[in-house]
Amino acid sequence: MATKAKRKLPREQPLPEAPKGDWRDLAERIAENPLLYVGAGIFIIIAATSGWLIRVYQNSVNQDFATEYAQAFDADDKAGIISALEPLAEQKHEALYMLGETAYTTGDFETAKDAFTRMRQDHPDSPFVADSVEGLGFIAENNADYDEAKRLYQDVIDNWPKSFAAKRQQFNIGRCEEAAGNPEAAIDAYRAQTLAFPNSRVATRANSLMAQLQAKLGPVETETDSELQNALNAVLESTADTEESDPIEPEITEMPEQPEESIEIDDAIETPPTIAPQKLELTLPKPGEGAGAVEVDEAESP
């Protein structure tokens, strides 16, 4: 007798754990390492507070500097401005540059030279350093040291080519060349200035001075003209060399010689013959005789 099969009860499966939230996970981590997280929190608070205090201090310093800087220009004369700018020049490169500019305009070239030199040495990344080197060139030019002035002006072009000051240095170089008695070089520099900064005020001044020099000297062959002529001569010489090395001879097609036709002259027709006119005689019939007859004398007279 068959027995009834027993039913197998399903085993109970463990329920999956619910995913933990971010805050719950963080709370468990803090509970495991409370000192670590407390220290990190204190560090963040201190860093944020320090940054805020530094910004407040910098704003206060900048505000005080701006106030003193503005007050420096309230002096009655430029000597007072220089005295007020000297302590500020130790703090900001803007004040140092303005110290040099103000000293130069008052004729205090020693103070100006010192300020511009410090700008170049102490603040090489300042946007005012190219103008400071140009200021040193102005001082050298004022002292009639034209070679040093040209060197400084060229230094601006070479080391700060993207600066605004570099766009006007060819005019300064031309002025030095003209003062040094080199009109050809001055014209060349003025022409370079018109190409470096066209349609500008400095280009207009360069054109005016170049026209004055050319009116005095007449046609002048400048360095640029010589370079263009040399380049043209080189092209012509290379063309001539090519023609000499590989000459092209034109083909000459000669016409075949035509045989001369001999013309025989008949002596018989050299002198046209003389033809004597024929004589016609008309004989009328006598009355009572038949019809008249016409006789022709064919005799020819020579």
pLDDT tens, N- to C-terminus, the chain (302 residues): 555 555 555 565 554 554 556 677 777 777 777 777 777 778 787 777 666 556 644 444 445 545 655 666 666 677 888 888 888 888 888 889 999 999 999 899 999 999 999 999 999 999 999 999 999 999 999 999 999 999 999 999 999 999 999 999 999 999 999 999 999 999 999 999 999 999 999 999 999 999 999 998 876 555 555 665 676 667 667 766 655 555 555 454 455 555 555 445 444 444 555 555 555 454 555 555 554 444 444 444 44
Sign for the pseudo-dihedral over CA of 30, 35, 36, 40: positive
Query: What are the structure tokens assigned to 298, written together?
Result: 């064919």
Q: How far is CA 211 from CA 120, 174, 242, in A?
A: 36, 13, 41
Domain that holds residue 196: 93-232
CB atoms within 10 A of CB 88: 18
Sign for the pseudo-dihedral over CA of 71, 72, 73, 74: positive
Q: What CA–CA distance (Å, rounded) separates 28 from 26?
A: 5
Q: How many domains does the chain have?
A: 1
Q: Tell me, yes or no, whether 302 lies in a domain.
A: no
pTM for the structure as a whole = 0.54
Q: Tell me, yes or no, whether 72 lies in a domain.
A: no
CA atoms in the 13 A half-sphere facing the CB of 146 = 12
Q: What CA–CA distance (Å, rounded) separates 108 from 193?
A: 30
- Cα dihedral 121→124→129→133 (10° resolution): 50
Cβ proximity of 146 and 138 under 8 Å: no
Sign for the pseudo-dihedral over CA of 225, 230, 235, 237: positive
Cβ proximity of 189 and 180 under 8 Å: no
CB atoms within 10 A of CB 68: 15
Q: Tell me, yes or no, whether 157 lies in a domain.
A: yes
pLDDT given for residue 40 in this prediction = 75
Q: Tell me, yes or no, whether 179 lies in a domain.
A: yes
- Check which CATH number belongs to the domain holding 178 and give it: 1.25.40.10
Q: Tell me, yes or no, whether 248 lies in a domain.
A: no
